[in-house]
Amino acid sequence: MSKRIVLLASGTGSLAKKIMEEVGSGALDLEIVSLLSDKQAPVLEVAAQHGVPTIYLPVGKDRALWNSQLIETIAGLNPNLVVSVGFMRIVSPEFVDRFIVINTHPSLLPLFPGAHAVRDALAAGAAVTGSTVHRVDAGVDTGPIIAQRQVAIRPGANEEDLHEEIKIVERALIVEVLQKYATEGIL
């Protein structure tokens, strides 16, 4: 029986799309029960094109209410794993206490946590950055590292181009982690 996953995403959906393609082709033996977005983002259309049910749950003025709605919504889907792929919200400690959550991040954590990891790596003059898949805990990009892959920073690289290079690595890395989870139940 396939493990049930929920995807959380806020953007264009390149990572989510890769996971959906791998599940759709049978390469990943997982069931994507839903994709949840906090924004009316292109990822919702990507999910619809792949036949994945979508949930739009915008953050209103009451963040505590949204936190509880998120927990209730995900609990109702009964996932084995929640996969954050470009979800630009910090989830509550209660959320990570309730669910197993993993995240992709565009740096080699613990270096350059937060929303501007690629920009921060360039500003620091780093020669190498990369992608990390990690367990989500109550901190910001502080959870245990599951897997990492390096990306060399070319001289003169700009933020947009470097981020695209990292996304290519991120897509492969998240699929590898999910493959291991699907076949061995290990994160």
Contact present, 114 and 139 (Cβ < 8 Å): no
Distance CA 103, CA 7 (A): 10
Which pLDDT tens digit goes with each residue over 63-81? 999 999 999 999 999 999 9
The architecture in CATH of the region 3-184 reads 3-Layer(aba) Sandwich (3.40)
- Ramachandran area for residue 65 (φ above 0: left; ψ -120 to 50: alpha; else beta): alpha
pLDDT of residue 151: 98
Distance CA 112, CA 123 (A): 10
Which pLDDT tens digit goes with each residue over 157-176? 999 999 999 999 999 999 99
Is the whole model's pTM more than 0.85, yes or no? yes
pLDDT of residue 1: 78
105 labelled catalytic:
yes
Identify the band that residue 16 occupies on the pLDDT scale cut at 50, 70 and 90. Answer: very high
Which position among 105, 116, 134, 163 bears the catalytic label?
Answer: 105
Q: For the stretch 170-181, what's the b/e string if a residue is b when 16 or more beta carbons lie within 10 angstroms of its beta carbon?
A: bbebbbebbeeb
Extents of the domains making up the chain: 3-184
pLDDT of residue 40: 97
Mean pLDDT of 137-143: 95
